[in-house]
Structures are given as structure tokens and as C-alpha cells.
Amino acid sequence: MAFGFGRLPENPALKRFIYECAELCEPAKVFVSDGSAEAIRFVREEALRNCEEQTLAAKGHTLHFDSPEDQGRALGDTKVLMPKGKRLPFILTKERKAGLAEMRRLLKGIMKGRTMYVQFHTLGPAGSRFSIPCVQITDSAYVAHSENLLYRQGYDEFRRLGRKAKFLRFVHSAGELENGISKNIRERRIYIDLAGEAVYGVNTQYAGNSVGLKKLALRLTIKRASQQGWLSEHMFIMGVRGPKKRVSYFTGAFPSACGKTSTAMLAGERIVGDDLAYLWVADGRVHAVNPECGMFGIITGVNRKDDPEIWRVLHSPAEVVFSNVLLLPGGRVFWTGSGEAIPAKGVNYAGKWQKGGRAPPSHPNARFAVGLKAFRNLDGNLDEPGGVPVSGIIYGGRDSDTSVPVEQSFSWEHGVVMKAASLESETTSATIGAVGVRQFNPMANLNFLSIPVGRYVKDNLEFGKTAKMAPPIFSVNYFLKGRDGKFLNGKRDKAVWLKWMELRAHGEVGAVETPTGLIPEYGDLRELFRKVLGKEYAREVYGEQFRVRIPENLAKIARMEKIYRRIPDAPREIFRVLKEQRERLLEARKKCGDCFSPA
């Protein structure tokens, strides 16, 4: 077995882990990345050489295809390893001893004749109180290449920490390949070992299942955060411009394909991160840091008009990896919802494609991976060790009939219970399974929890109490429909909701109190629509968008009570807040009926 490039940092536990993996997987050679430009370039070239990626016409652009059966997060194959007899409600688990034995069987000799790539990264900026060192082992150059785009290099941090490095461990194999694509999808397994702070994955390439530092690491950091008194969240971080050159930072939790990236990347605002955030309290205020330095975004629907900065990056010379889009002659790509004319033919993840067939040209969950430094609207505080102060927290899902487009909670406690812990959303193509089913998804994080739901909600409730100035909590809903079944929000309206939240966070606009929260006054929105979007905003539209829908809200409360009654450790505050909201709704119904406008 030959080793190449960097020397292993001086850490006995790290060396033992790497040697044990090499002995188990039996690679022909081991590549140890030292994080240098030369090492990063070598990994990219390896992905092209072994056909996991192919070059495109634009400089720096490459394309990767996943198996038709490996196009989203494999929630059914992803399990948290637990001690014998222990379970986690809502979370798939497996007995730890049996899970590790199965993974050893699957990984035994799986890298014969191939290269094992060993890479070092950090979650969070170097020097941050939440900079977590990680080591990724994989035989997929595509996975290693993606990690280099999405995460900060950590080789020097490992050398600096030496024996003190308490690192997270990730072991992955794409398994047997056919034309550069994972073949044995039926034996796909992704196991999260909480006790060993490790993730094991095999027979998959889709980045959501294979790039360890993304949602797989989230399970590990949620447990750490719960033990240490901070929060590891499925949230973007963005800077919203206010009056007199003020920038206010917001975090936001949205399930996949619910407008999260398009909000974080809104034209005219500043991006810190589009997906994950670590939150802690310092000097009485909540601060947030992005553990990533890149974007792995859904490309479906990205177009020149609605997403100008993403569009520019995807059409400029830069290091970008496209996945599961349509390959056109001449090395160009096309994706559904781009706003361009649908081509006559091409090649996609399923093979040759022709216009007029039943299959879409690109997969609904097609993606792109790119470093954040390619974006002109990148905020200068991306690598600030102290993070950014948080002025507001936003929760949003897919809801056609209940929640208004934007609303502020009455308090931190009300926001955690009614906006965060009661979040529901329709399923999308980002997960494998049925699409369009409304699902309970507290904090948009249910699929990634590694602790009981009740404990997670309690952690959020307690977190706000530790801050002297807890940020206000808001909800947004871009998918509310009118009586005619059409969406009431325009795609660009989110820019107005953000501006209202920014002003509201500083107490510079008023609000109308409703049974479910605080909503904008019509006059403020009319002015913002003119100023931000240059269009008129009719009072009738306001009345329709912000109608209080009593039966739907009461039904939601009933659903939440039913769910949380089944959770043994659900905090009592949940039921008190739900009861208070029901009482407000019933009192309003007596005065105004089942449905009424804020006027």
C-alpha cells in the first residue's frame, strides 16, 4: 500500500483510525491531502480520469451523474446507531453492534485496486470556538472534489492541534462502479455512529448521502451542541440591507426546495451561508457562523430573472460541479426551469433523452456545487471567527392553506413552539419517496436529528433564555394559495417580506396583532412594494394574503397536540402555547367568523 502527498498529522488516534480503515478497505494506494493547491488540483483531475466527472465547455465546469436510483437523500437507508434497546422517535435507528458489523462486512476489501483519499477539513472558520476538525476517507474522487469546494481545508488545523484534536470521522465508498456510477444501490447504507462520532456510507455517490460533512455531520454536531449549550441548525445566514447602509443578519430554516437558497441569495442582499449554521450566545446576543464555505444547491428553477447572481456564477468561468442535469452537444448543460428553450435531445442521468418523452430533461433534484467566493454578494464576515450577530430568525415551509406570507411571533417561546416546532411542509424531490405529502418537520431538521425531538425543542426554548436580547422569530410562507388555487405570493415578493422583517427587528415599523402573531400593516407593505419591487400593492391583495384562517389554524393545533402527546419528553411549554393560541382563535371566531381579513 503506497502513500502519496502529505504526511499524517501527529495524532495517534487519527493515525490509528486511518490505518484501520486502510486495513479494512484494502486500497491499492492512499492519498493524503495536505490541503495545498497541488493536492486539490490532483483530486479534481482524478475525478475526471476515473469518469466520475466529465469536463464541460465553460472553464472549470464539470458534470457528474448519479445512478437513477440514487438521486436524493436516502432516508430509508440512513440510520442512527444506538445502544441495544434504545430508540429515537421519528428517527430510523439500528442497534450499534449489528450496524458496525454490517458496515465492516460491506467495506471489507471494497477499495481493492483503487485509491483511498484522506482529506482534512474544518466545520467553521479556523480559530472559531466552533471550529470542528474532521477527516474524510473516501474512494470517490467526486466526493473528495465536492468536499474541497464546500468545506475549509483543515490539514494545518490538525497539525496545530496535534494530539488535542477531537475530530469527527467520515468513511465512504462508492462501491463498485459502472461507467463511473455506483452500481450496487440496493446495498446502499449510511450509518451514523454517535458514540464514535463517525459516519459510514457505502454504495452511493449522491452528495447528500456521501459528502460526510454536510447533513451527515449535522447529526453529530446536533448532539455536541445539545451537550454544550449551543445550537447546530439547518439554517441559512444572510445580511439584509436596511436604511442608512445598515446590514442586519438573519438565519432561516426551510426544508429542501421551499425557497431557502433563493432567499439566502436574494439580489441586493449579502450571503454568509445557504444551508447550515452554528448559533451561540456571546455578550448577551445570539451569533451565527457558517460551518461551510460552499453551496450545494438545487438547480431546478434557477433562472436569469429570479436568481441573477446564481445564474451569473453558473455561466462564468469558475470551479462548478453540476449533477444530474442534461448534457447537450458541445459540452453545455440544461436544467428544468432555467427559462431557456427546451432542447431537442441530450444525455441525462438515465441515458439518452429526447424532447417529447415522459421523463423531464434533468432530475427535479439536480444540483450544483460551488465555492461561496465565486459570488459577488458574499458577505465579508464569512470567515469571521466570532460569527455575525443575529437580528432575526425565520422559519418557512410549504403550506397552501394556513400560514400567512410573513408573520412575527409574540415572543421567543411562542416562536419556538408555533413557528419552529410546529413547522410543516410538503415533501419534495429532494428526498426519495412520495412527493406532495404534508409532513411534520420541526425547525426543518427532523430528518437530521440525533437526539429526541422533545429534548431538541427544549434546547431551543432554553437557548433563547440565555440571551439578554433574543432575536425575534418570524415565519414565512411562499406557497399560500387563494380560493382559485393559485399562489398568492409572487416569486419576488420575498424581497418585501425580508425588508419588513429587517425594519421590524429594529422597531421601525408597526404591526397588526392577530390570533396567530404580528403581521405587517398595509401601508408599510404598500410603500415597500413600491420601493423594493416598483409595483403597486392593492389592499384587496393584502386582505387575501393575510386573512386569518380559523379552521385551518385550529386543525394545525390539533395535529401538533396529537404529535407531541406521543413524545414522552415534550416540554410542557408546548401544550401551554398551543392552548393559548387555540383560545385566541376561538375568541376571534366568535367575533369575526371562520375567516376574516386583518382589516
**234 contacts 376 by C-beta, under 8 angstroms:** no
The phi, psi pair for 481, rounded to 5°, reads: -115, 150
pLDDT at 382 exceeding the cut of 80: yes
**25 catalytically annotated:** no
pLDDT at 582 exceeding the cut of 60: yes
pLDDT at 2 exceeding the cut of 60: no
Q: Residues 384-413: what's their mean pLDDT?
A: 96
Q: How many CA atoms lie within 13 A of 439 on its CB side?
A: 20
**What's the pLDDT at 512?**
97
**What's the pLDDT at 151?**
98
**286 contacts 389 by C-beta, under 8 angstroms:** yes
Q: Residues 425-437: what's their mean pLDDT?
A: 63
**What's the pLDDT at 427?**
65
pLDDT at 389 exceeding the cut of 90: yes
**What's the pLDDT at 5?**
63
Q: How many CA atoms lie within 13 A of 459 on its CB side?
A: 23
pLDDT at 89 exceeding the cut of 90: no
**What's the pLDDT at 143?**
98
**What's the pLDDT at 434?**
66
**What's the pLDDT at 130?**
81
CATH topology of domain 2-52+70-228: Phosphoenolpyruvate Carboxykinase; domain 1 (3.40.449)
Q: What is the percent of the chain with per-residue pLDDT over 70, rounded to a whole number?
A: 97
The label of the residue with cell 422569530 reads 473
pLDDT at 271 exceeding the cut of 80: yes
**What's the pLDDT at 437?**
74
The label of the residue with cell 463511473 reads 180
**What's the pLDDT at 436?**
61
Cell numbers for 461, please give them. Answer: 426554548
Indicate which residue of 21, 134, 258, 293 is catalytic.
Answer: 258
pLDDT band at 431 (very low <50, low <70, confident <90, very high): low
**231 contacts 460 by C-beta, under 8 angstroms:** yes
pLDDT at 432 exceeding the cut of 60: no
Beta pairing class for 181-182 and 177-178: antiparallel
**Buried/exposed code over 132-149 (b: 16+ C-beta within 10 A; e: otherwise):** bbbbbbbbbbbbbbbbbb
Q: Which pLDDT tens digit goes with each residue over 185-234?
A: 999 999 999 999 999 999 999 999 999 999 999 999 999 999 999 999 99
Residue 562 CB neighbours (<10 A): 10
**342 contacts 361 by C-beta, under 8 angstroms:** yes
pLDDT at 4 exceeding the cut of 70: no
Residue 486 CB neighbours (<10 A): 7
pLDDT at 1 exceeding the cut of 60: no
CATH class of 295-374: mainly beta
pLDDT at 419 exceeding the cut of 90: yes
**What's the pLDDT at 576?**
98
**What's the pLDDT at 40?**
96
**What's the pLDDT at 518?**
98
- Identify which of 217, 163, 116 has the alpha carbon closest to the alpha carbon of residue 13: 163
Q: Residues 359-386: what's their mean pLDDT?
A: 96
Q: Residues 310-334: what's their mean pLDDT?
A: 97
Q: Which letter does DSSP use for residue 466 in this model?
A: T
**What's the pLDDT at 126?**
87
Q: Which pLDDT tens digit goes with each residue over 452-505?
A: 999 999 999 999 999 999 999 999 999 999 988 899 998 889 999 999 999 999
pLDDT band at 256 (very low <50, low <70, confident <90, very high): confident
How far apart CA 343 and CA 329 sit, in angstroms, is: 10
Q: What is the percent of the chain with per-residue pLDDT over 90, rounded to a whole number?
A: 86
Q: Residues 356-381: what's their mean pLDDT?
A: 95
Domains 2-52+70-228 and 295-374 are alike in CATH topology: no
**What's the pLDDT at 6?**
67
Q: Where are the domains of the chain?
A: 2-52+70-228, 235-287+382-596, 295-374
Indicate the SS3 state at residue 375. Answer: coil
pLDDT band at 258 (very low <50, low <70, confident <90, very high): confident
**What's the pLDDT at 77?**
95
pLDDT at 428 exceeding the cut of 80: no
Q: Which pLDDT tens digit goes with each residue over 40-72?
A: 999 999 999 999 999 999 999 999 999 999 999
The phi, psi pair for 581, rounded to 5°, reads: -70, -40
**What's the pLDDT at 262?**
85
Q: Residues 282-298: what's their mean pLDDT?
A: 95
pLDDT band at 398 (very low <50, low <70, confident <90, very high): confident
Domain spanning 235-287+382-596, CATH architecture? Alpha-Beta Complex (3.90)
**What's the pLDDT at 8?**
87
How far apart CA 117 and CA 575 sit, in angstroms, is: 50
